Structure 1
Amino acid sequence: MNKTEIAIKVSERSGVHIEDCIKVITEMEEVVSEELSKSKNMTAALEQVFQILRLFTAKG
Protein backbone atom coordinates (compact mmCIF):
# COMPACT_ATOMS: atom_id res chain seq x y z
CA MET A 1 0.00 0.00 0.00
CA ASN A 2 1.46 3.38 -0.96
CA LYS A 3 0.90 6.85 0.50
CA THR A 4 -1.94 7.70 -1.87
CA GLU A 5 -3.76 4.46 -1.12
CA ILE A 6 -3.43 5.07 2.61
CA ALA A 7 -4.66 8.66 2.18
CA ILE A 8 -7.69 7.48 0.21
CA LYS A 9 -8.63 4.99 2.95
CA VAL A 10 -8.14 7.57 5.71
CA SER A 11 -10.14 10.14 3.75
CA GLU A 12 -13.01 7.70 3.16
CA ARG A 13 -13.15 6.68 6.81
CA SER A 14 -12.65 10.10 8.37
CA GLY A 15 -14.38 12.41 5.94
CA VAL A 16 -11.22 14.54 5.80
CA HIS A 17 -10.27 15.80 2.34
CA ILE A 18 -7.67 13.59 0.65
CA GLU A 19 -5.16 16.43 0.15
CA ASP A 20 -5.21 17.08 3.90
CA CYS A 21 -4.67 13.39 4.58
CA ILE A 22 -1.67 13.35 2.24
CA LYS A 23 -0.18 16.38 4.04
CA VAL A 24 -0.54 14.67 7.42
CA ILE A 25 0.93 11.39 6.18
CA THR A 26 3.86 13.24 4.60
CA GLU A 27 4.58 15.10 7.84
CA MET A 28 4.28 11.88 9.83
CA GLU A 29 6.93 10.36 7.56
CA GLU A 30 9.16 13.35 8.30
CA VAL A 31 8.67 13.00 12.06
CA VAL A 32 9.46 9.29 11.97
CA SER A 33 12.49 9.89 9.78
CA GLU A 34 13.82 12.58 12.12
CA GLU A 35 13.35 10.34 15.15
CA LEU A 36 15.13 7.47 13.45
CA SER A 37 18.05 9.68 12.46
CA LYS A 38 18.45 10.88 16.08
CA SER A 39 18.66 7.35 17.45
CA LYS A 40 21.98 5.81 18.37
CA ASN A 41 20.88 2.24 17.84
CA MET A 42 18.11 0.30 16.12
CA THR A 43 16.33 -0.68 19.34
CA ALA A 44 16.10 2.94 20.41
CA ALA A 45 14.98 3.96 16.92
CA LEU A 46 12.19 1.40 16.86
CA GLU A 47 11.05 2.42 20.32
CA GLN A 48 10.76 6.01 19.10
CA VAL A 49 8.66 4.89 16.14
CA PHE A 50 6.39 2.84 18.39
CA GLN A 51 5.93 5.82 20.71
CA ILE A 52 4.86 7.96 17.77
CA LEU A 53 2.45 5.28 16.56
CA ARG A 54 0.96 4.96 20.05
CA LEU A 55 -0.02 8.63 19.82
CA PHE A 56 -2.10 7.83 16.75
CA THR A 57 -3.74 4.78 18.28
CA ALA A 58 -4.56 6.27 21.69
CA LYS A 59 -8.27 6.66 22.24
CA GLY A 60 -9.73 9.85 23.64
Structure 2
Amino acid sequence: MNKTEMSRRVSEKSGIDFEVCRKVVDALEKVMEEELADTKGLGGKIDKIYNVMHFFKGKKEENK
Protein backbone atom coordinates (compact mmCIF):
# COMPACT_ATOMS: atom_id res chain seq x y z
CA MET A 1 0.00 0.00 0.00
CA ASN A 2 1.40 3.39 -0.90
CA LYS A 3 0.61 6.77 0.71
CA THR A 4 -2.16 7.58 -1.75
CA GLU A 5 -3.90 4.27 -1.11
CA MET A 6 -3.50 4.68 2.65
CA SER A 7 -4.87 8.21 2.52
CA ARG A 8 -7.83 7.09 0.42
CA ARG A 9 -8.69 4.23 2.79
CA VAL A 10 -8.41 6.48 5.85
CA SER A 11 -10.63 9.00 4.10
CA GLU A 12 -13.23 6.36 3.28
CA LYS A 13 -13.26 4.86 6.78
CA SER A 14 -13.28 8.19 8.62
CA GLY A 15 -15.46 10.28 6.32
CA ILE A 16 -12.75 12.95 6.33
CA ASP A 17 -11.75 14.66 3.09
CA PHE A 18 -9.03 12.83 1.13
CA GLU A 19 -6.73 15.87 0.97
CA VAL A 20 -6.91 16.29 4.76
CA CYS A 21 -6.06 12.61 5.23
CA ARG A 22 -3.16 12.95 2.81
CA LYS A 23 -1.74 15.81 4.90
CA VAL A 24 -2.08 13.73 8.07
CA VAL A 25 -0.35 10.73 6.49
CA ASP A 26 2.45 13.01 5.24
CA ALA A 27 2.84 14.51 8.71
CA LEU A 28 2.89 11.06 10.33
CA GLU A 29 5.61 10.01 7.90
CA LYS A 30 7.72 13.06 8.82
CA VAL A 31 7.28 12.44 12.55
CA MET A 32 8.32 8.80 12.14
CA GLU A 33 11.35 9.80 10.05
CA GLU A 34 12.44 12.28 12.75
CA GLU A 35 11.93 9.75 15.54
CA LEU A 36 13.90 7.06 13.75
CA ALA A 37 16.67 9.52 12.81
CA ASP A 38 17.02 10.49 16.49
CA THR A 39 17.23 6.85 17.61
CA LYS A 40 20.65 5.26 17.91
CA GLY A 41 21.34 1.79 16.58
CA LEU A 42 19.33 -0.61 14.52
CA GLY A 43 17.91 -2.32 17.61
CA GLY A 44 16.52 0.97 18.89
CA LYS A 45 14.91 1.72 15.54
CA ILE A 46 13.35 -1.75 15.37
CA ASP A 47 12.02 -1.29 18.92
CA LYS A 48 10.37 2.02 17.95
CA ILE A 49 8.78 0.50 14.86
CA TYR A 50 7.54 -2.45 16.93
CA ASN A 51 6.06 -0.10 19.53
CA VAL A 52 4.21 1.91 16.88
CA MET A 53 2.82 -1.26 15.29
CA HIS A 54 1.80 -2.56 18.72
CA PHE A 55 0.03 0.76 19.41
CA PHE A 56 -1.97 0.53 16.18
CA LYS A 57 -2.78 -3.13 16.77
CA GLY A 58 -4.13 -2.23 20.22
CA LYS A 59 -6.31 0.49 18.72
CA LYS A 60 -7.63 -1.96 16.11
CA GLU A 61 -8.55 -4.47 18.83
CA GLU A 62 -10.30 -1.75 20.87
CA ASN A 63 -12.55 -0.98 17.90
CA LYS A 64 -13.76 -4.57 17.44
Tell me which interval the TM-score lies in, with the shorter structure as reference length.
0.7 to 0.9
> How far apart are residue 49 of structure 1 and its match?
2.7
TM-score normalized with structure 2 length: 0.75
Identity level (%): 37
Which residue number corresponds to residue 12 of structure 2?
Answer: 12
Q: Unaligned regions of 5+ residues in structure 2, if any? A: none
Q: Unaligned regions of 5+ residues in structure 1, if any? A: none
Q: Does the C-alpha gap of structure 1 residues 52 and 33 become closer, same or farther in structure 2, counting only changes over 3 Å?
A: same
> How far apart are residue 52 of structure 1 and its match?
3.6
Number of equivalences: 60
Residues in 2 aligned to 1:32 and 1:17: alpha-carbon distance in whole angstroms: 23
